[in-house]
Amino acid sequence: MKSYSGKSWKLYPIPERLIQKKQQDYNISYLLSKIFLQREFSNDEIHNSLNKKNILNKNYQDEDFINASYILNECIKQNKKILIFGDYDVDGYSSTYLLYDYIQSLNKKCDFYIPDRIKDGYGPNMKIIKKLFSKKKYNLIIFVDCASNSFKELKYLNKIGVKIIVIDHHQIHEYNNIKNTIIINPLKKYNNNSIFCATTLVYYFIKYMNINFRRSPKFNDNKYLFFAAIATICDQMPLRNLNRMIVNNGLNNFNINNFFNFKKIINFKKKLSSSDIAFNLGPILNSAGRLGHSDLPIRLLTEANTSNINSISEKLIDLNMKRKKIQSVSFNLLNKKVHDEDNKVIFIYEKNVNEGILGIIASSFVELYGKPSFVMTKSNDVIKCSSRSVYGFNIGKIFNEALSKNILITGGGHSMAGGCTLNINKLNILKKYINNKFQKYFKNFEAKNYYVSEQNIDSLRTFAKVDLQKLEPLGNNNTNPFFLIRKNKIIKFKIINNLHLQILIQNNFKKKYLCFVFNAVGTKLGDFLMNYRKNIDLIVQINNKIIQKNSDFNLIVKDAIL
C-alpha cells in the first residue's frame, strides 16, 4: 500500500498458529503475542516485559576493564591528578558524572571538562588539550563518549607522559595500539556490533572496579544504573535485550526523589517513564550544548549548593524553550527544501541554521520520510553536517570511509547517527559519495514499513490500557507499533505552533477521536489531511506520551493510504 508520505506499508505476515501458541504460553493478548513474534523477542525479553519486578541478572564485562581498573586504582592510591573529558550530550554528561561521583565517593578529587559544541567541537583537539594541561599537570586523563579516533591527541598526551583511558562506543576509524593507553570500546573488534552507550560501559566498568579493586562505601548501584538508562534512551541505543533491562530497571529501581539536583527540571510526583526521559529530561539537558552552554548540565549534576542548583535549572529550562523556537523556524525552512527534492537520501544545505539543532532536524526528517538524512550549515569557514540514519545504513562507517578519502575534515559516529565537517568545495562530492553508497547498499531499496494489523478504535483503546506499557521502553529497534484504521473522516483540524496538526476524526459509527500529526505543516501528508473530506485509511500509533499522563486516549497519525 502506497501512502501520502511516499512510504510503502505492509502487513507483517506471522502464521496464525504461532501467534496463538505464544498467546497461550504467556497468557497474553493476541496483539501483544503478534508484536512479540514480529520483533523476535527472546523468552528473556518477554519475561522481562511481563514481570514488573525484574532483576538485572546479566552483566557485561570487557577484557580491558582489568587494565583500566589497575591504572585508575594506582592513580587514586597515589593521589595523582585526574581529568575526565566528556561530551556535550546526555550520554557524555552522564558518563562524566558517574566517574566523577565514584572518585568523589572514594574521598578523592578529580576534574572534568566538557568541550563547547560550537567553540571546541566534538572530542579532544590539540588546542584544548594544550590549554587544559597548561593549567594543571594531569597524570591521568579519562575520555568518555569520545576520543576513539583521536590518535594525534592521544599520541601527544603519551609523549608528555600522561596515562590514558578511553571509554567510548563510537565507530573506530582504524584501531591502533597506543602505548600506555587503554581503550574500552566494543567496536575495537572488527564486526562487533555494540549496542551500548558510553554511560553503560562506564557503569559496568565502575561496577567491576568497585568489586575487584576498590570498594566505595557509598557505591550507589541504583543511581548509576539510572544514568545508564537515561543515556541509553537519549543516545537512541537499540532498546532490546540487555538495554531493555537496563532501562526498565534503571527507571524502576531508583527513587528520583533522592536526587535533589533534578528536582527543578523534572516532575517528581510519579515514576519516570522512558518517554519522560526522551521528551522532557533529555531535551532539556541537551539544549544547553546546542545553544552554547555545554557546561551547564554537568554543573547541575555535580553541584552541591541548593541555590546554585536552582539557578542552573532555571537557565536550562529557559534554554530549552529558546531551542524549541529556533528549531521550529529552522524546521519549516529546511522542510520546504526537502519537499522540493525527490532523492532516496535527504541531503540539505542551508547557510544560516543554528548548528546545534542540525541533529534534531535530521531526526525529524528520518521520522517523517523514512530516509537517511544529512542536514548541513555553514560554521565559520567550513560546513558542519549532522545526520541520522535508517536501520541498516551505517553512517559512522560511511563518514570514516569518506574521511580516509579526504572528502571530510573530521567525521564519525555510530550506526544510526553521526556528524562531520567539510570544506565548502567538497559539498557536491560528499552528496554524490553518499548517494552512491546508499544505492550500493540498498540496490533495490524500498523502505518497507510494517503495521501490526487492521484495528478498530475500541480495540486500540484496550491495547493502550492493557498492553502498550508492556512494550516499554519504546524507541530505537522497538518502535511504538503501527496500526491501520480504515474509513475515517477528518471533521476538524487545528494547526499548533505552525508545525503540528491536531485533527478530529470520525469513524463509521460516528465516534470521534482526537489525533496528532507531528511536524505535518508543509508536508504532502499535512496538506492532504487538511483538505480531504471523504473516508480515508490511516496508519496510526497510540500516543503513549499522553496515555501515561492519564489523560484521554488519542492517536498519532503517521500516514494516510493513497
Question: How far apart are alpha carbons 102 and 561 in whole angstroms?
Answer: 53
Q: How far is the CB of 146 from Mn ion (least distance, A)?
A: 8
Question: How far apart are alpha carbons 401 and 405 in whole angstroms?
Answer: 6
Q: How far is the CB of 285 from Mn ion (least distance, A)?
A: 13
Q: How far is the CB of 202 from Mn ion (least distance, A)?
A: 11
Task: Say if CB 411 and CB 419 are below 8 A apart.
Answer: yes
Task: Say if CB 334 and CB 353 are below 8 A apart.
Answer: yes
Cβ proximity to Mn ion: between 5 and 476 the closer is 476
- Other C-beta atoms lying within 10 Å of the C-beta of residue 151: 14
Q: How far is the CB of 186 from Mn ion (least distance, A)?
A: 13
Secondary structure (3-state) at 196: coil
CB environment 17-36: b (16+ within 10 A), e (fewer): eebeebbeebebbebbbbbb
Secondary structure (3-state) at 368: helix
Which amino acid is it at 459?
A: S
Task: Say if CB 315 and CB 293 are below 8 A apart.
Answer: yes
Cβ proximity to Mn ion: between 123 and 481 the closer is 123
Judged on CB neighbours under 10 Å (0-12, 13-18, 19+), 82 is buried
Task: Say if CB 390 and CB 101 are below 8 A apart.
Answer: no
Q: How far is the CB of 244 from Mn ion (least distance, A)?
A: 18
Cβ proximity to Mn ion: between 28 and 417 the closer is 417
Contacts of 322 (CB under 8 A, 6+ apart): 287, 291
Contacts of 269 (CB under 8 A, 6+ apart): none
As a three-state string, the secondary structure of 76-143 is HHCCCCEEEECCCCHHHHHHHHHHHHHHHHCCCCCEEECCCCCCCCCCCCHHHHHHHHHHCCCCEEEE
Q: How far is the CB of 151 from Mn ion (least distance, A)?
A: 20
Question: How far apart are alpha carbons 263 and 312 in whole angstroms?
Answer: 12
As a three-state string, the secondary structure of 202-214 is HHHHHHHHHHHCC
Cβ proximity to Mn ion: between 64 and 235 the closer is 235
Which amino acid is it at 73?
A: N
Cell of 256: 528520583
Q: How far is the CB of 100 from Mn ion (least distance, A)?
A: 17
Q: How far is the CB of 172 from Mn ion (least distance, A)?
A: 14
Strands (E), 172-321: 181-184
Cβ proximity to Mn ion: between 65 and 122 the closer is 122
Cβ proximity to Mn ion: between 400 and 455 the closer is 400
Q: Residue numbers of the site for Mn ion (CB under 5 A)?
A: 91, 145, 198, 235
Task: Say if CB 120 and CB 131 are below 8 A apart.
Answer: no
Q: How far is the CB of 199 from Mn ion (least distance, A)?
A: 8
Q: How far apart are the first and last CA of the chain?
A: 7
Phi and psi torsions of 532, nearest 5°? -95, 130
- Other C-beta atoms lying within 10 Å of the C-beta of residue 61: 11
Q: How far is the CB of 297 from Mn ion (least distance, A)?
A: 14
Nearest residue to Mn ion by CB is 91
Cell of 398: 560511511
Judged on CB neighbours under 10 Å (0-12, 13-18, 19+), 560 is buried
Contacts of 224 (CB under 8 A, 6+ apart): 98, 101, 102, 203, 206, 207
Cβ proximity to Mn ion: between 91 and 355 the closer is 91
Cell of 219: 557505591
Cβ proximity to Mn ion: between 418 and 473 the closer is 418
Q: How far is the CB of 121 from Mn ion (least distance, A)?
A: 15
Cβ proximity to Mn ion: between 88 and 331 the closer is 88
Q: How far is the CB of 437 from Mn ion (least distance, A)?
A: 23
Q: How far is the CB of 535 from Mn ion (least distance, A)?
A: 46
Cβ proximity to Mn ion: between 235 and 467 the closer is 235
Cβ proximity to Mn ion: between 91 and 153 the closer is 91
Cβ proximity to Mn ion: between 278 and 484 the closer is 278
Cβ proximity to Mn ion: between 170 and 293 the closer is 170
Cβ proximity to Mn ion: between 231 and 521 the closer is 231
Q: How far is the CB of 461 from Mn ion (least distance, A)?
A: 37
